[in-house]
Amino acid sequence: MAAAVQIETVNITINDIEIAVPKGELIVEAVKRLGLEIPIFCYHPRMKPVGMCRMCIVEVGFKQPDGTVRKMPKPQAACTLPASEGMAVYTDTEMVHRDRKGVLEFLLINHPLDCPICDRGGECPLQNNTLFYGPSTSRYVELKRHAPKAFPLSKYVTLDLERCIQCGRCVRFTEEISGDSELAFRFRGANMQPSTFELRDFESKFSGNVIEICPVGALTSAKYRFRARPWDLETKPAVCTVCSNGCNVWFDYRVGKMVRINGRTNEGVNEEWTCDKGKFGHEFYNSEDRLLTPLVREGDQLVPTDWARVYSDVIRAFANGGDKVAALGGAANSNEDVFMLNRLMTGIFGTKNLDHRFERNLVTGVGEKLGVSEVQSTIASLEDAPSMLVFGTSLADELPIVFLRVRKAWFKNGAKVVVAHHAPTDADSFAEVILRYKEGTEAAVASGLLSLLVSAGKAQVPAATADAIKPFTPEHVEQLSGVPAEKLRVAAELLEGAPIITTRSMYNQASGVDALEALAGLAMVTNGKFNCYSLQANAEGATLLGTKEGMHTHQILNAAAAGELKALWLVNVDPFALYPDRELVQQALENVEFLAVQGTVASEAMHYASVVLPQCAPAEMDGTYTNVERRVQRMRPVLKPKGSTKPGWNIFSEIAVRLRPATPFFNPGEVMAEIAKENPAFEGATYDKLPAEGFVIR
C-alpha cells in the first residue's frame, strides 16, 4: 500500500474561528471548509485566479505576538490570496459589506435592466449577488451605454455585449481548458469585449461551456434562447450517449420535450465540461422523425400495426434460423438491451451471428488476439501521466473529454505528449513531438518506435518479434512514412512507461491492425498502458457482453448480399452511417429475405425494412451504459416513452417469452442482476451497489 501523502498545513482564523488548511490554498476555497460563502464572478476553481471583478474582497490581517490582529489597510481579493500561517480573515464586516456594494454598483452602471427577457434570469449569479450583497437602490440616473444585442458568435453561442461584466471567464476557458484560444478581449476600458480574432465564427469544439460559466447573460445558447425560463423546467441527472465518453449531464425538459443539456460534475469522467456534440446533439429527442409505432411492410409501403403482429413476423423469420439469421447493433444500446439481445439470438434463435463493430478491418480485436486488455487507463488517470503517446486519432473529434484530460496533463502537470497522425489535429498545439506520417504507414511508425526501444536495450521482446521489427530502423521508417528519423528517436525517449492512446478507428486503416499490435507490444515492454478506446456510447459494454464465435459484421453483410441470410435484425443502428462500404450495405439490405429495423429515429435502412420496431430513446428508459474507460453508469428515465415505444430489453424479453414461456424480467434491475450473475466483472454494477459516479470494470 502506498504511503499517505503528507500535506503541509497552516493555521488561520476565519471570522475568529481557528482552522488548519493546506498551505497556499486560496482563501476563497478555505472559507468553504466552514460552510461559508464568498461571492464571486471571475473566479472559477478549474482556472487560474485573476482577481478581475473584486467581488470576493475580504478583510485580512495577521496575528501579532501579543494576540492582537494587525489588519491590512485595504480589503484583499480572496480568489488570489493564498493561506499562510497566522492569517486572520474576515468575510462579514462593515468594510466588506460596503465595498461589495460598491463593486456591484459599478457593475450595474451599464448593465441593462432586461432580466425579464434574459435567458439567464432566474439562475444568474449577478442577480443573486445583487440581492444578497448589493445596494437596494441605484444612484445612477444617466443614460446607459448601448451595444448591438444578440450578436451571433457562432451557430451555438449568442453574445449580448451590454450584459458583459468583463470577468474573462470565457476567454480564459478557451486559453486554459479547451486550448483553442478562440476568444480574446478586444479594446480597453468600457469598450472591452470578448470576441473572436478577425471577427470570424467561434469554432471551438467546446464552445457550449462558455455559456454555462458566464456569470451573467452575456453569452447565451442560440438553441435555448427564449425557449423556457428556469422555473418552467424540470431537471434530472442523465448520461450523454452521443459518444463513448459517457459525460454526466443535467437533462432539462419541459412538457415532455428536451430543452437543453448542461454539464454535471463527475470528477472521474468529464469534471463538469461537455463537448458541443453532446451539449447540442440531443435534438433527436424532439425529432419529427421519431419512430412512435410498430410498422409492417405491405407492398411498397410501411404501415402502422401493433406489437403482436410485429412479434409474430419476427418470430416467423428468425425462429430456428441458426446460421441463416443474424443481428447487427448493440454499441448504442444499454447493457441490458445488449444482454437480452444476445440471450434471444443465441439461446432462442440458435445463432451466434451477432456483431456491433463496423470498422472495416476489425475481425478479432488486438486485445483478444494478444491476451491483453484494450482499456488500461481511466480518463482521470491520464492527467497524472508524465508522458503519453496519442496515435492515429484526432482526440478532440473522436474522444473530446479524453482530449481535455490529455491537455490538462500538459497544461497543469507538464506532461510531454507525442502525437502521431497523418493529418493535423488539435493536440498538435501542445505536443512535445509531432510524428506526421503518410496515411497507410501507421504500422511502420509503430514498429519503428518499438524497434528503437529494443535496440537501445530499454525493452525485451521474443526473438521472432525482434527479427520482425529489426528492419524498421529510423532511417527506413523515414523513407516509408516521411517521419524524420531524429523525431522518431526523440519520441522513443519519451515513451518509457507512457500510456498509449488510440481508438478503434485505426481498424479502418490499411495497416491499422499491424500498428495496433505493435502499439500493444510497445506498452507491454515499456510498462506502459495500452488503450484502444471505443467510439460509441456502449461499445465497451457490447464488447464485454457480446458473443465472439459467430460471423462478424463484414461476413454478415457479405452473406446477406449473396442471399445466404434468411433474416437480418438491425438493432438501433444504421449501417449506411457507420460501415465504410456503402455499396455492400445496400446490396445486403436489398438481398436479405427479411429485414427487421429497430430504432429510435427513422433511418435510411428503413427503406428496406420488412418490419420496424420503435425503441425508447436512452433518457426514456432505465438502463446502464459502459463508457470508454469501462465505467458503468446508470441512466434513469427522464422523459416518458413516446407513442408505443418500448425499451430494447423489454422487446427481446417479450419475444423470448412467446417462444419459451417462463417468468420474464419485470425491470432492468433484474436484467442487470442476471448480467452480474453470468459476468462477474459486472458484480459492482448491480442497481443496489452502483455508485452515483459509476463503477469501473477492471
Strands 611-614 and 567-571: unpaired
Confidence of residue 559 (pLDDT cuts 50, 70, 90): very high
241 and 195 both lie in a single domain? no
299 and 333 both lie in a single domain? yes
410 and 525 both lie in a single domain? yes
Total domains present in the chain: 5
**d(Cα 76, Cα 89) in Å, to the nearest integer?**
10
**What's the mean per-residue pLDDT of the chain?**
93
Q: What is the CATH number of the domain that holds 111?
A: 3.30.70.20
Last residue of a domain, one of 190, 221, 252: 221
- Quick check: 455 pLDDT over 90? no
Among 502, 507, 505, CA closest to 362: 507
DSSP string, 27-85: HHHHGGGGT-----SS--TTS-----S-TTEEEEEEE-TTS-EEE-SS-EETTT-B--T
Q: Angle 512-525/442-455 helices, nearest 10 degrees? A: 20
557 and 670 both lie in a single domain? yes
What pLDDT score does 453 carry? 86
Report yes or no on 97 lying in a domain.
Answer: no
| Three cell numbers, residue 674 | 442476471
501 and 583 both lie in a single domain? no
Which region among 65-69, 247-251, 528-532, 576-580 has the lowest average model confidence (pLDDT)?
65-69
Q: What is the CATH number of the domain that holds 242?
A: 2.20.25.90
Q: What is the CATH number of the domain that holds 385?
A: 3.40.228.10
Q: What angle do CA 417, 419, 421 make, to 5 degrees?
A: 170
- Mean pLDDT along residues 589-597: 96
Q: What is the CATH number of the domain that holds 26?
A: 3.10.20.740
Report yes or no on 45 lying in a domain.
Answer: yes
189 and 120 both lie in a single domain? yes
Tens digit of each residue's pLDDT (9 = 90 or more) over 80-91: 999 999 999 999
639 and 575 both lie in a single domain? yes
**d(Cα 201, Cα 222) in Å, to the nearest integer?**
14
**Across the beta sheet with 325-329, what order do the strands follow?**
301-304, 295-298, 611-614, 594-599, 567-571, 325-329, 354-355
465 and 402 both lie in a single domain? yes
Tens digit of each residue's pLDDT (9 = 90 or more) over 66-119: 888 899 999 999 999 999 999 999 999 999 999 999 999 999 998 998 899 999
Last residue of a domain, one of 184, 200, 221: 221
- Mean pLDDT along residues 142-167: 91
Last residue of a domain, one of 286, 304, 319: 286
What pLDDT score does 3 carry? 52
The range of the structural domain enclosing residue 522 comes to 366-533
- Mean pLDDT along residues 303-317: 96
- Is residue 95 within 8 A of residue 75, CB to CB? The reply is yes
Report yes or no on 361 lying in a domain.
Answer: no
- Distances from the Cα of 69 to the Cαs of 65, 79, 416, in angstroms? 9, 22, 46
- Sequence-distant (6+) residues with CB within 8 A of 569 are 314, 318, 325, 326, 327, 328, 329, 345, 596, 598
**Which sign, positive or negative, has the C-alpha torsion 289, 292, 295, 301?**
negative
Which region among 205-214, 453-462, 522-531, 557-566 has the lowest average model confidence (pLDDT)?
453-462
517 and 477 both lie in a single domain? yes
Confidence of residue 53 (pLDDT cuts 50, 70, 90): very high
453 and 518 both lie in a single domain? yes
Tens digit of each residue's pLDDT (9 = 90 or more) over 180-221: 999 999 988 878 889 998 888 999 999 999 999 999 999 999
- Quick check: 252 pLDDT over 60? yes
What pLDDT score does 67 carry? 81
Report yes or no on 524 lying in a domain.
Answer: yes
Residue type, 159: L
What pLDDT score does 370 carry? 84
- Quick check: 342 pLDDT over 70? yes
- Distances from the Cα of 377 to the Cαs of 362, 388, 628, in angstroms? 22, 11, 10
Report yes or no on 4 lying in a domain.
Answer: no
- Mean pLDDT along residues 294-301: 94
Phi and psi angles of residue 309, each rounded to the nearest 5 degrees, phi first: -65, -45
66 and 123 both lie in a single domain? no
Phi and psi angles of residue 19, each rounded to the nearest 5 degrees, phi first: -155, 145
Q: What angle do CA 198, 202, 208 make, to 5 degrees?
A: 160
Run of H or E residues at 295: strand 295-298
